[in-house]
Every structure is written in C-alpha cells, then in structure tokens.
Structure 1
Amino acid sequence: MSFAHPGWLALLLLLPLLGAVAVMTSRMRRRQWTAFVAPRLREALLKRGSSLPRWLAFLFLLAACAALSFALARPRADAGTKLEKTVGRNVMIALDISKSMRVADVKPDRLTQAKIIIYELLDAMPNERIGMIGFAGSPYVYAPLTVDHSAVSEIVDQIDEKWAPLGGSDLASAVHLATETLKKTGQKNNALVILSDGEKHEGDLDAMITEAEQSGVYIVAIGVGTEDGGPVIIPGSPNQQIMDETGRPVISRLHPDVMRKLAEETKGRFTIAGSGLDVPALVNSVVKGLDAFEMDGRERRVSIEFYQWLMLPSILFLIGSIVAGTRWKGIRTAATAIAALMLTAPGAKAGEASGAKEALAGKNYKAAREAYHNLAESTKARETKARYRLGEATAAYRAKDFREARTAYSGSLLSEDPMVDASGHLGMGNSLFQLGWIGLAGESYPQDPASVPDLDKFDDLVKKTLAKMREAEEPEEGDTPGFGPIESLITNWADAVRHFDSALALPPSDQVARRNRDLTMIYLKRLKELLKEEEQQTQQSMPQAQPGDGPPQEGDGKGDPKDGKGGEKGPKDGKGGDGDKDKGGDKGDKDKDKDGKKDKKDGDKGDKGNNPNESPEERAKRILKENADLEKGPLTRGRREFQNPEKDW
C-alpha cells in the first residue's frame, strides 16, 4: 500500500498535542472553582454534572480528524497495468515550413497561425491518431501517427523554417509521403490536412492527387495567407528582405487555386484560415465521415483507492461528537424555530425558476419562455429581472423566434453583471444577424458547420433580391418594392456588429463573439461590392445622350433654319405666335411654382434620409458608408458606463 499525498499524515502529530491541551485546560478550570468556592458551600452552590459526554465528544472528534487525515493522504494499492482501447481514425497533418510561411500578411505570420490551427485540431479530435509531416523542398515525417497528442504538440512548438534542409515548396512530394504513410496503416479511408500558402509548388501534383484518391485519402486543404501577400523576410533579420534579380523585394502570395484543386479532386474540403469559418469543426466533419477502427491507446497503471472507506467512519465519528456534546434542553425550542422559518420562507420563486430551467433543458422552449417571462414580470429587483430576461431570450432563440429573442435580450442588457451583460450583447448580435439572414434567404442561418453557406450562395441570394427589385415597378413615392430586405439586412447586421463589439469589450472576451463578428463583416463587405457592381451595371444599361438630342431653343420664329423654326418654313396656321408664347409662359410659371414646392418637399425628405430621387443602390451604399466605422475596431459601451437606461431601444 502507498499514499498519493503522504504529507497529510503530518496532521496526525497534532492529535496528541490537542489531547494534552484539553486535559490541562480541564484541570485549570477545576482549580479555579476550588479556589473561588469554599469546600463547605460547594454542594449548595455548584451542581456537578458528569464529564463523560464532554470527553466522549472530544474523543469522537479526534477519531474523525485521524480518519480524515488518512483519507486526504489517499491510500491506494497497485493493481497492475491496463492497455486502453480507443476507436478512432488516422489523420496526417502536412505543415508547410518554407521561408514564405514567415510572411506577415496575417498576424503574427503564416507559420504561427498554422500552428494555432494545429493546436485547435488536437483539442477537437482527442480520440484520433494524428501524425505530422513538415515539408519545404523535401518532406519528412516529424511525428508518426499516435494517440499521444502531447508529443505532437511538442513537435509543433519547436518546428520552424530552419528544420527544412532544402528550400522551395514540394507539395507533391508531401502528398506522396503522406499517402504512403497512411497506406501502411492498412485502413481504407484516411484524412490528410495540408496547411500551406500553395506558392511555387514543385513536382507532378496531378499524379499525386490521383494516387491519393485511389488510396482513399481525403485531403482537407487550409490556405494560410492573403492573395495580396507580403515581402519575404530573412529569418533573424526583420529589417532585411529577400530581393530578386532586379533588386525588388520578393512578394509571396496565397495561391488558393492549388489548394482548392487538392481538396476538390479528393472529395475533401477547402477553406482559408481567418475567413470566419470554424476550421476544427470543418475538419472534424470530414473525419467523422471516415471508417473508424479500434486501436491500442495508452498503457496506464491501475490503482485501487481506499480513501472512500475512511470517509464513512470519519462522518460517523463527527456525528457522534456532535450528539455527545449537545445539551438537549434547548433542542425543542431550536427545532420549533427552524420549522417555523422553513414554513414561512418564500419557496415559490425557487420552484418556478427550477421549473423554467428544467423546461429549457428538456427543449420545451415555449414553456420555458413563458415561465421566464412571468418570473421577470413578477419581480421588481433589477438584476434578477435582467437574468430572467436572459433565460427568456435563450428559450426564444433556441425556438428560432428571433424577434422575441431580440426583445428579451434587450431587457437583459440592464444587468450590472458583466457576464450577464456580455451574454446579452452576444445573443442580441446573433438574433439581429439571424433576422437579417431570414429577410434575405427566407430561412435561418444554419448551425451545422457542414451546411454553412459560402460566399457564392450569398452572392446568388443578393443578386436574386436585386433582380426582383429591378423587375418591380417604381411607385411615385417611397422606396422601390424589394429594397426593404436589403435595407433591413444592412441595418440589422450593422447593429449586430456593434453588439458583438460590446460583448468583446466585457470580460471575459468571448471567442464566439469574435468569430461571429468577423463573419458578419465578411458578408457586409461582400454586399458592398455587389451593390457597387449593380450600380455600375445600371449606369451602363441607361440610354446615353446622342448629339443633337438636346432640348429645343425658344425663339420668335426667326431662328436658324436648321432648328425647323423661323425663316420661310414658319407655321402655316398662325400658331406659335405671341399668343401661344404667352400661354406657354403662364404654364411654365405654374410648373415652376409647382416644381419649386416639390423640390422643397423633396429637400425636406432628403434631410430625413428618404429622398425619392435616390436610387436603391445609392441608398444602400450610403447606409454602408454611415456604418463604415465598424471596421475601426471595438466600440466603447457609450453612456451606459455612467447610468444604465431603463430600456434598451
């Protein structure tokens, strides 16, 4: 037998000391009474009781302390070793360690961002057998397939571009080495995750793709970097750049076509790091579709714990100590008082709150929302009301009633608790994003990472809405039909970004809020580009003015013959003379007055942002421009840091 924490046994040395102190204290008290009361008066003044219950309670207490000391030391016996069996799949990670991966077009650089993704993959796939290949001019297996993810993590910590013996980026050789390594496992379906910028690949990539496809290797390609790229820096010299033959800095750019080809031709997936998608969830969705197999895991030592056998005696000794040392005369009064307090204590609120929580956990969202709503309406405490509003909003959001969720999340923002406030801002941003997406697509945004729409689908949805807007007849006043969803979309998503920023400004910073904010900004930027393209197409489709199509010039009938007026080709019926001119002038004055009033009215409307002469594309661009400060970073909480409003509009 051994002890896991033998230091707790030192508490046993205090038990004899406590016993000695108790005996000395008892004798000192007895001497004090002997000196204070005369022997002949002791029987009349002092009523002696038995000291046995007091000493018995003390002994029970010492026994309980001794049992607890042994339990804290955790006695245990060795029962041998056991080989764990796990069910998983083979996942090989190929990391590009060429010099171009040190380009800082993503922060802090491409290689560091790729390492962060690998750490997330190790946490997201705890039961998979994972290995790692590093490649530049030539590939090498730095970590064989293993379930010991800590060993792979140590390799990732240390690896850098200096580990590559040859320069370049032989992506084809990396695919070949990974395919051969996975084929040796004997499994039909395996996964290969490639993290690279896809630049300057060497070798016959098509042949390697064919080999991987025939071997059942599904490639998940993750592009690291940007298409704008950046200069390649010599490692160890941040101010010194690599120059080409003409003396210009060498610029490295992301080549998504190469990475996309690897994924599509092996029935895998492709994404760009930092695009807003959950990369670990994307990889996990591909890996979960592969055939799982049973494999040997870690060998661990089996120990039998005995501390639980000591807990029961220690509890019994404590109970005996309490019972032996209790003076039972006042027990009846104390029990009566406790029973009265329990009967008069308000327990209805706790029961209702528990019922609402159970309904939410049981996915009965309608009942949970009504229960939390009734609780919020019945309480006057501001903080408690905000917490109940948060529960009501959570139930409404899960039921996909995003309008009710938006209203309830607004009430939760009155809380003084940063955790509740941050949850309210995050939920408010998610609800506004969902409302904007429903107005565009007619359905809620999917939660499954495998069903997340890409930018191509978003482009189709926006173009269909704009096409409906072009086909609709423009009314005399107000917006054109079909523009409502676009305007509502921009407004909701702009407000959603502000709420995400408010959630990120509160502790603790939520990574979900950061990802959702980045995804919303990607859609807003793409919407701005589509509206600009629509405006350019509209301008090109408008009829252009031709020479000679200008308005006719007023005259007295004696103008240039080219104008068709005056000269010998004047009017034959006498019309067009002074009478008609005066009549036309009167009508022109009336039109002028009418137009003047209309212009004034339109000017007033323009001040309010509802100018009917403004096209839908121009109005959408104006709204996007007004919200362009969203890209400048997190917003402050505004005046709410001085005084919370009664309502959040």
Structure 2
Amino acid sequence: MRFHDPQLLFLLALLVPLFVWIRRSEGRRPALPLSAAFAGEPLPETLRSRLARLLPYLRLAVLALGIVALARPQAVARESQVQSRGMDLVLALDLSTSMLAEEQGREGRGENRLAAAKRVLSEFIGARKQDRIGLVAFAGRPYPAAPLTSDHQWLQGIVERLDTNSVEDGTALGDAILAGVNRLRQRPAEGRALILITDGRNNAGAEPQLAAQAAKALGIRVHAIGIGSRGSAVIPVPSPLGGTIYRRLDADLDAATLKGVAEITGGRYFEAGDATVLSRVFAEIDRLERTPVKEKVFFSYAELFRPLLAAALLLFLAEMLLRGGWLRRSC
C-alpha cells in the first residue's frame, strides 16, 4: 500500500495534544453533572457514564480517519512484463550428399550427419523463444528455406522436412553465407548472427572469405561448425543390383577456411565429431548469443480513501446521535 499525498499524514501529529487535553479533562470533571449538595458523595459508575467518557475519543477517531482518507491510501497491484530485445539468427545447413554419411563407432554405424544436425537444430530453435530465426539450406547453391520468424513450431517442421534432394549437389559455402547475410542486413546492427553447419569444403560460388568480409561490414557474426569426424565414414548409395550399399567416405572438412570465416566476423569455429559434441556446441552458441533482458514493470492503484471516509462519516453520525440522544445528559 502507498499514499498519494503522504505529507498530509503529518496532520495526525496535531491530534496528539488533543488526545492529551481529553485525558486531562477527564480527571477534572465528573462524567455526570452533580449538584453542590451531592458533590462530595461518590456515585456508582453506570454504563451511560462510561460511554459518555468515550465520546471525545470517538470524535478523535473521526478526525484521524478523515486525515488518513485525505492522504489517499492506495493498494498497489504490481504487473510485470518481461521483454527481451531478442536476436535475429539465421541457420545455414549443408544439404550436400556427404551429409548422409554415418559415423562408425564401436557399436557400428550411427545417426547420419544430416539427421543429427536436424535434431540438434530443432532443439536449439525450441530454446530460443525470444528470437526470430531464419533458415538457409545449401549444397551447390543456397535457397531460403524459411524467412526470419518467431513461429518456432512451424520452423521446426521445415527443418524436419529438409533432405539432400532439395538442391543440386555441391558445397557453396560463400553463397550460403551471403544468403544468410542478405536475410539479416535489414535489421539493426546488434543482435544478429549466422550459424553455418557443413561437413565439406567450398567448391562452388563465391569465396567464403569474401562473403565473411561482407558479413563483417554489416556487423554480423558467423559461427562456423564443422560436422563429422576427421576419419572415414560410410555413405549409403544406390546399388546397381537394387537396394542400397554403403561406400566409405574420407573426411573432406576444410577446417582452416571455416575458422578463418569465423575469425573475420568475430564469431567462433567449432568441430563436432558426433551428435553429442554437436549438442554441446549449440549449447555454447546459445550461451554466447544472448542479449540483455529488459524488464518493464507497470503499476496500477486502487483507491482506498472511500471506505475510510464512509467509516469516518458513520462514526461522526453515531457520535452526534449519542451526544444528542441517549447520552445527552451524560455529556
């Protein structure tokens, strides 16, 4: 609770000497007026005499309630709305054929690179509730899979439907970066980042370093993730006899180029040999790409002076009725 005009509460101090005067007055006069003949004889105290002595205090209570009402007490209802500036993020995912490679562990073949990347991306999108996120898919050329959006459930559905047949094969890293930069360039200079996920080296389109310079000029960070182990993996290919066979695929990750792209733009380069490491990489990016959260607090007030004034009025009427009625002679 608060008071709109708290300075008026100092008027309560004026009631203190009035209270002292009432107490002293009680000792100087009897509750009932007596004739001189009986002035020296004590009379038994009655209910009327007791109530009569309370009437001045009733008037004092009326004044106190009136002063507090004038100060306008208010009940505070606190409503808090948390607003984050949020970020604009673009995810650029490699859909070249090599992303179908499956890492070989002690337990045999595991999840292919594309499936692992899609799963981790979907989890990352779900955790970034305040951000707008866009999606660029690329192989031999990039294409915009999804614009910047806050509809993360819809975006997760787009990620789930991505496959390597969406665009001609190849790895156009530079063009993918430029496509992501084009998505982000209309936004304010802070709170923008591009996350590039690939398992290969550039073999089509613009040079990645030149694309990184364009991102740097616009203040857009590029985090590059090299996915897949440095050893060999197996990739499914159609068999001439029908069905599917697995062909061994040597790693072709161009870590130096990806690291250079990240350094140019002020981003980070990560290597993720498997899905577990990839999850940790995205957790680190999630930590790095956070903007300050601003909290706006709104206050609404409910006026409480009306019931106080009503109580003061009722007490005043009661005091007047008692003083002019049943207790009239006692006063």
Normalising by structure 1, we get a TM-score of 0.29
Residue by residue over 1:3-28, the C-alpha shift from the partner in whole angstroms, topping out at 9 and shown as x without a partner, is xxxxxxxxxxxxxxxxxxxxxxxxxx
Q: How high is the sequence identity, in percent, across the aligned residues? A: 27
Aligned counterpart, 2:269: 270
Aligned counterpart, 1:117: 120
Aligned counterpart, 2:180: 178
Check conservation: 2:232, 2:249, Cα contact below 8 A: no
- Match of 1:105, SS state, is strand
Aligned counterpart, 2:245: 239
Among residues 206, 221, 228, which one is paired with 2:231 in the alignment? 228
1:208-357 matches, cutoff 5 A: 208-234=211-237, 237-239=243-245, 241=247, 251-273=250-272, 274=274, 276=277, 278-288=280-290
Aligned counterpart, 2:313: none
> C-alpha displacement at 1:186, in angstroms?
4.0
Aligned counterpart, 1:99: 97
Residue by residue over 1:457-502, the C-alpha shift from the partner in whole angstroms, topping out at 9 and shown as x without a partner, is xxxxxxxxxxxxxxxxxxxxxxxxxxxxxxxxxxxxxxxxxxxxxx
- Match of 1:134, SS state, is strand
For structure 2, the residue ranges without an aligned partner over 5 or more in a row are: 1-81, 105-109, 296-331
- Match of 1:119, SS state, is helix
1:481-520 matches, cutoff 5 A: none
Aligned counterpart, 1:489: none
1:582-593 matches, cutoff 5 A: none
Check conservation: 1:136, 1:167, Cα contact below 8 A: yes
Instruction: Indicate how the Cα distance of structure 1 residues 120 and 235 shifts in structure 2: closer, same or farther if over 3 A, else same.
Output: farther
Aligned counterpart, 2:30: none
> C-alpha displacement at 1:240, in angstroms?
5.5
> C-alpha displacement at 1:140, in angstroms?
0.8
Check conservation: 2:174, 2:202, Cα contact below 8 A: no
Check conservation: 1:231, 1:252, Cα contact below 8 A: no
- Match of 2:118, SS state, is helix
1:225-624 matches, cutoff 5 A: 225-234=228-237, 237-239=243-245, 241=247, 251-273=250-272, 274=274, 276=277, 278-288=280-290
Give, in whole Å, the separation in 2 of the partners of 1:103 and 1:124.
27
Give, in whole Å, the separation in 2 of the partners of 1:125 and 1:98.
27
Residue by residue over 1:491-530, the C-alpha shift from the partner in whole angstroms, topping out at 9 and shown as x without a partner, is xxxxxxxxxxxxxxxxxxxxxxxxxxxxxxxxxxxxxxxx
> C-alpha displacement at 1:127, in angstroms?
1.0
> C-alpha displacement at 1:85, in angstroms?
7.1
> C-alpha displacement at 1:198, in angstroms?
3.0
Among residues 196, 200, 204, which one is paired with 1:198 in the alignment? 200
Among residues 122, 131, 135, which one is paired with 1:132 in the alignment? 135
Among residues 72, 87, 91, which one is paired with 2:85 in the alignment? 87
> C-alpha displacement at 1:206, in angstroms?
1.4
Instruction: Indicate how the Cα distance of structure 1 residues 92 and 139 shifts in structure 2: closer, same or farther if over 3 A, else same.
Output: same
Check conservation: 2:238, 2:245, Cα contact below 8 A: no
Residue by residue over 1:370-422, the C-alpha shift from the partner in whole angstroms, topping out at 9 and shown as x without a partner, is xxxxxxxxxxxxxxxxxxxxxxxxxxxxxxxxxxxxxxxxxxxxxxxxxxxxx
Check conservation: 1:218, 1:268, Cα contact below 8 A: yes
Aligned counterpart, 1:616: none
The total of aligned residue pairs comes to 202
Query: Residue type of the partner of 1:93?
Result: L
For structure 1, the residue ranges without an aligned partner over 5 or more in a row are: 1-83, 242-248, 295-649
- Match of 1:288, SS state, is coil
Give, in whole Å, the separation in 2 of the partners of 1:208 and 1:235.
35
Instruction: Indicate how the Cα distance of structure 1 residues 227 and 250 shifts in structure 2: closer, same or farther if over 3 A, else same.
Output: closer
> C-alpha displacement at 1:155, in angstroms?
0.5
Give, in whole Å, the separation in 1 of the partners of 2:261 and 2:253.
15
Instruction: Indicate how the Cα distance of structure 1 residues 184 and 145 shifts in structure 2: closer, same or farther if over 3 A, else same.
Output: same
Give, in whole Å, the separation in 2 of the partners of 1:116 and 1:292.
28
Check conservation: 2:87, 2:192, Cα contact below 8 A: yes
> C-alpha displacement at 1:263, in angstroms?
1.6
Give, in whole Å, the separation in 2 of the partners of 1:171 and 1:184.
22
Give, in whole Å, the separation in 2 of the partners of 1:147 and 1:158.
19
Give, in whole Å, the separation in 2 of the partners of 1:235 and 1:108.
19
- Match of 1:228, SS state, is coil
> C-alpha displacement at 1:205, in angstroms?
1.4
Higher relative contact order (CA 8 A, sep 6+): 2
Instruction: Indicate how the Cα distance of structure 1 residues 206 and 142 shifts in structure 2: closer, same or farther if over 3 A, else same.
Output: same
Give, in whole Å, the separation in 2 of the partners of 1:226 and 1:200.
18
> C-alpha displacement at 1:254, in angstroms?
3.0
Query: Residue type of the partner of 1:167?
Result: D
Residue by residue over 1:542-586, the C-alpha shift from the partner in whole angstroms, topping out at 9 and shown as x without a partner, is xxxxxxxxxxxxxxxxxxxxxxxxxxxxxxxxxxxxxxxxxxxxx
- Match of 1:108, SS state, is strand
Check conservation: 2:88, 2:192, Cα contact below 8 A: yes
Normalising by structure 2, we get a TM-score of 0.55
Give, in whole Å, the separation in 2 of the partners of 1:229 and 1:212.
33
Aligned counterpart, 1:161: 164
Judging by fraction of residues, say which structure has more helix: 1
Check conservation: 2:93, 2:138, Cα contact below 8 A: yes
Instruction: Indicate how the Cα distance of structure 1 residues 163 and 222 shifts in structure 2: closer, same or farther if over 3 A, else same.
Output: same
Aligned counterpart, 2:8: none
Check conservation: 1:225, 1:253, Cα contact below 8 A: no
Aligned counterpart, 1:592: none
Aligned counterpart, 1:309: none
Instruction: Indicate how the Cα distance of structure 1 residues 261 and 235 shifts in structure 2: closer, same or farther if over 3 A, else same.
Output: farther
Check conservation: 1:198, 1:259, Cα contact below 8 A: no
Give, in whole Å, the separation in 2 of the partners of 1:285 and 1:151.
24
- Match of 2:126, SS state, is helix
Give, in whole Å, the separation in 2 of the partners of 1:251 and 1:214.
36
